[in-house]
A and B are shown apart, each in its own frame.
Chain A
C-alpha cells in the first residue's frame, strides 16, 4: 500500500538540473530583460562572406574552421553543411576537433541527463575542475552528481565552491537553493536568495525566493517588488511565468485572498509557461481551485498535449485513471529530476500495483533512495514491490530501514499495510489480515465512523486484493465489499485495485444482490472473536 501524494503541499521551488540540461529545458538561463535589437553591423556580414570566399577559393581545411563556426552562428545551414561535408571528405588533413564539429553538423545527436551517469560524470568533472578550479558551473554540476549518489558532504562542499565563485549568478543561486531544500535546510535555501543583490531585479530569483519563503514558513519581503516586475513591460513573458505562479501561490494562502486576483496570477503564469509553472497550475487545479480543471479547460489540455510538462501530465493522467500514461510521464519526470523523491513515489506507487510493474518500482525506488536515504515512504514502497514479487527477504530488508518512531498516522498506515502484504505473501494470511485491520482501525473512530474515508478505502481494497491473491475463504466476500466501497470512494486508484482483485478472482461471478450490502463482518481467524465491520 502506497503513499498518496496528490494532496501534498506544492511550492514552485526551482528545478535542479545540470547546466547542460538547464540550457535546453527552458529559457531560465537566458537574458530576461527585453531590450532593443542590436544595431546591424554590415562589416560582420562582410567578414563572414569574406571567410566563406576564402574557403571556396582555398579549398582547404585550414580555411574551413572559421567560416563553419560563423555559419553555425548565423543558422546558415546550407553553408555549414557544405563546409562540414568538405571537412569530413578531408579528414586526413583535419584535426580531430574540427572533424567532430563537422560531424555534429551533419549528424546532430542529443545527450540526455542520466542519473545513472553521475558515477561516470564525477571523475570527468573532477578533471575539469583540477584543470580549471574556478569554474562555478562545474562545481554546481558536481554538487548535483554527488547528491544523486548520496554523498551529501561532498555535494555541499561543491555547492559552496560554486557560490563562492559566482554568488549572484542565477543558475548557481537557484541550484544552491534547491540543494539546501533537498537537505531540509529551508532557512539556508531561502536566505541565499533573500540576501543576494541580484534577486530584486531578476524574476527567476524573485520567484525562487518567494517560493522558498513559503516553504520555510517565512514572509518574503519582495512581494511588492514582484508585483512591480509583473506589471511592468521589461521582461519577456516566459521569464515572468514562475514569478506569477509563486506570487499567486503565496497570496492564495491568505484567508483574505481575492480569488479573482489569484486566478489571474496563475493564468498569467500559463502564458508562455515553464514546465514547473504548468505543474504548479495543475496542482492548483486539483487542490485550490485557483486554476481551471485541467481535464476541462481547453488551453490546459493543449499544454498537456503539446509540451513536455511531465509532472503535470503524470498527475493529470493519474487522477483521470490513465495509469499507463501516468507511469510513463512520472518516469520522465523522475529522469528530469532524479534527485527528487516525489516522482519516485508516484512511479513506485503506480508501477507496483496499478500497472503490475513491480520491477520498475524497485528500480526507481533504489535509484531514488541514494539521494533520499531517509525517505521512509520510498523504503516502504520498495518493500511492497518486493513483497508483490514474493521476494520476502528483500521486502523485510527494505522495511527494516523504516524508522517508525518518526512517522505520522498516515505513514504508519502505509507501513502497517505493507507489513500485512508481506505477511500475506509469506503464506500467513491471518497475520496479514490483522495488520490491515490494524491499519484501518487507525482511521476509524470508536463509533465506527471513518475519519479518513480515502485512506480507509485504500487500505480495505488492498486487503481484499491480498485475500484474493492468497485465495482465502473470505476473498469473495471482501471483494464484494470492496466493490461497494469503490463506488463510494470515487477514486480511480481504488477502482483499479478492485479491478485487479476481480482479475485475480477469475472465476468470481459478481452477485448483484451483494452489492447493496452495507456491512460485512469479518472474523479475524476461525477461532478468534475479533471482528471488523465494514
Chain B
C-alpha cells in the first residue's frame, strides 16, 4: 500500500519574503496586508515587512501580483493587473519625485525580488521606505498628554510636507492621522503617496471622484461637486484634509465627522459614506453645511487647552487656520491671505505654525 503526499498549499510569493535579503535589506518580519477595497480605488494588493540594513530599520511594501489574479476586483484579470501595476509604479515614481522633500516619507530603495530561483513568474516588486515610530494617532494614544507644543510642532512639519508636495504640483489626497508618521525623538512626515495626483500626469487616482479615505473626504467629494480643473479641485481637498488633521489632534474626531454627522441633520447629510438623505445639489445644501461648520469649529475651539503663556495664545490663529482650511465651500478654502492664492495658503500656515510652536 502506498501513501500519496498531500499537495503543499501554495504560499503567494509576496508572502514569502521573510528571511530574504533584497538590495542589502534583510527582511526581518512580516506585517499586515493592505488590500484595496476594489480594483478602481487606485490602490494595489501589498504585504508589509520590517527590513534592516546596517542597523537601520525600514518598511518594505511588496506588491502582491498573484492576489490580483485570484480576487475578483470587478474587472478582467488582465485589466486588474494593468491597473494595479500602474498604481504601484505611480507610487514608486511619486516617492522618487518626493525624495528631496524632508517632510515627506523617503524612499530608500526599490526593486524586484525573485522568490523562487529559475521561476520568472515569482517576481515581487517592492519599495523600501523609511520607517517611523508610529503614525500620529498611535503616538497620541501611546504617549499620554502630548503637549500642545508638541502637537503644533508636528502640525508644522505636516504643513511643510504638504507645501513641498504642492510646490511640486503633487496633491496628496489621502492625508489623515494614520498617514502622518511620527518619530518619538523627531518630528513628522507625510506618508502613503499611493493616492496622490500629479498635475499633468494621468493616473488611476484621477479616475474616482475621490481617491482617498472617504471617512475623511471633504463635503464636495461626497455631494458630487468636484471641479474638473486640477488646481481648483485637488488643492482645496488637501487643505481640507490638513485642517481635519489639526482638528483630530485636539478633538479626537475628524472635521468631516463633526461637520457631516455630528452637527448636520440627517436630511442634509450626503448619501455617500455618511448615509444621509440629501438628494439635492451641493449649492442648495451649502447654507446648512456652513451652519454645521460653525458648530464644528466652535467645538474644536472649546477643546483647545489654554496656553501655557497667556500672553502668547495660540488658539486664535489655530482656529482661524481651521476655519480657512476646512470651509465647506472649496472655493473659499485657503483664501485667508493673499486674495485666494491657495499655494500661498500653506506657506502662510507653515509660518504661523512655526511661530505658534515656538511661542507655546
Q: Does A371 contact B (CB under 8 A)?
A: no
Complex Cα gap A68–B252 (Å): 11
Within 8 A of A (CB), among B258-272: 258, 261-262, 265, 267-269, 271-272
Q: Are A69 and B271 in contact (CB under 8 A)?
A: no
Within 8 A of A (CB), among B97-154: 137-138, 140-141, 144
Q: Are B213 and A132 in contact (CB under 8 A)?
A: no
> B4-12, B160-168, B191-199, B296-304: which one contacts chain A?
B296-304
Q: Does B275 contact A (CB under 8 A)?
A: yes
Chain A: minimal CB distance from B329 (Å): 9
Q: Are A137 and B251 in contact (CB under 8 A)?
A: no
Q: Are B279 and A33 in contact (CB under 8 A)?
A: yes
Q: Interface range on chain B: under 10, 10 to 19, 20 to 34, or 35 or more? A: 35 or more
User: B40: nearest residue on chain A (CB-CB)?
Assistant: A43
Cross-chain contact of A31 among B267, B287, B323 (Cβ < 8 A): B267
| Chain A residue total in the interface (Cβ 8 A) | 55
Residues of B within 8 A of A137 (CB): 287-288, 290-291
Chain B: minimal CB distance from A17 (Å): 13
Q: Does A96 contact B (CB under 8 A)?
A: yes
Cross-chain contact of A63 among B37, B137, B280, B298 (Cβ < 8 A): B137
User: A22: nearest residue on chain B (CB-CB)?
Assistant: B265
Q: Are A30 and B273 in contact (CB under 8 A)?
A: no
Within 8 A of A (CB), among B161-188: none
Chain A: minimal CB distance from B176 (Å): 9
Q: Does A122 contact B (CB under 8 A)?
A: no
Q: Does A408 contact B (CB under 8 A)?
A: no
Q: Does B41 contact A (CB under 8 A)?
A: yes
Q: Does B253 contact A (CB under 8 A)?
A: yes
User: B142: nearest residue on chain A (CB-CB)?
Assistant: A60
Q: Are A128 and B141 in contact (CB under 8 A)?
A: no
Q: Does A41 contact B (CB under 8 A)?
A: yes
Residues of A within 8 A of B300 (CB): 97
Q: Are B261 and A98 in contact (CB under 8 A)?
A: no
Residues of B within 8 A of A43 (CB): 37-38, 41, 214
Chain A: minimal CB distance from B192 (Å): 15
Q: Are B287 and A47 in contact (CB under 8 A)?
A: no
Complex Cα gap A33–B278 (Å): 10
Mask: chain B, 81-97; 1 = CB below 8 Å from A; 0 = not: 00000000000000000
User: A74: nearest residue on chain B (CB-CB)?
Assistant: B275
Q: Are B261 and A19 in contact (CB under 8 A)?
A: no
> A163-171, A277-285, A327-335, A522-530: which one contacts chain B?
A163-171
Q: Are B287 and A166 in contact (CB under 8 A)?
A: yes
Cross-chain contact of B287 among A38, A74, A75, A165 (Cβ < 8 A): A165
Q: Does B344 contact A (CB under 8 A)?
A: no
Complex Cα gap A30–B287 (Å): 13
How many A-B contacts at CB < 8 Å in the complex? 140
Complex Cα gap A137–B298 (Å): 16
Q: Does B215 contact A (CB under 8 A)?
A: yes
Chain A: minimal CB distance from B180 (Å): 13
Q: Does A58 contact B (CB under 8 A)?
A: yes
Q: Are A172 and B287 in contact (CB under 8 A)?
A: yes
Q: Are A38 and B271 in contact (CB under 8 A)?
A: yes
Q: Are B267 and A30 in contact (CB under 8 A)?
A: yes
Residues of A within 8 A of B137 (CB): 62-63
Residues of A within 8 A of B213 (CB): 47
Provided the pairs A38-B271, A61-B252, A66-B253 are in contact, do residues A47 and B214 lie with their beta carbons within 8 angstroms? Answer: yes
User: B257: nearest residue on chain A (CB-CB)?
Assistant: A69
Cross-chain contact of B294 among A93, A94, A97, A128 (Cβ < 8 A): A128
Residues of B within 8 A of A136 (CB): 287, 290-291
Residues of A within 8 A of B272 (CB): 38, 41, 44
Q: Are A97 and B261 in contact (CB under 8 A)?
A: no
Q: Does B277 contact A (CB under 8 A)?
A: yes
Complex Cα gap A95–B213 (Å): 24
Q: Does A306 contact B (CB under 8 A)?
A: no
Within 8 A of B (CB), among A138-184: 138, 165-166, 168-172
Q: Does B70 contact A (CB under 8 A)?
A: no
Residues of A within 8 A of B294 (CB): 128, 131-132, 135, 138
Provided the pairs A66-B253, A95-B303, A101-B262 are in contact, do residues A132 and B287 lie with their beta carbons within 8 angstroms? Answer: no
Chain B: minimal CB distance from A172 (Å): 7
Mask: chain A, 62-76; 1 = CB below 8 Å from B; 0 = not: 111110111011110
Complex Cα gap A27–B268 (Å): 11
Of residues B41, B138, B252, which shows the largest number of chain A Cβ atoms within 10 Å of its Cβ?
Answer: B252
Complex Cα gap A65–B279 (Å): 27
Residues of A within 8 A of B41 (CB): 43
Cross-chain contact of A135 among B248, B258, B290 (Cβ < 8 A): B290
Other A-B contacts than A74-B275, A97-B299, 20 sampled, CB-CB below 8 A, are A19-B291, A32-B280, A42-B37, A43-B214, A44-B272, A48-B215, A58-B141, A62-B137, A66-B254, A95-B251, A96-B303, A97-B252, A98-B251, A98-B253, A128-B298, A131-B297, A132-B323, A135-B290, A137-B291, A169-B284
Listed from nearest, the 4 A-B pairs whose CB atoms lie closest are A43-B37, A65-B253, A30-B267, A69-B257
- Ordered by A's residue number, 27 sampled pairs between the chains whose C-beta atoms are within 8 Å are A23-B265, A23-B268, A32-B280, A42-B38, A43-B38, A44-B214, A44-B272, A47-B213, A47-B214, A51-B215, A58-B138, A60-B141, A66-B253, A66-B257, A73-B275, A73-B276, A97-B300, A131-B294, A131-B297, A132-B293, A132-B323, A135-B290, A135-B291, A136-B291, A137-B291, A169-B284, A171-B287
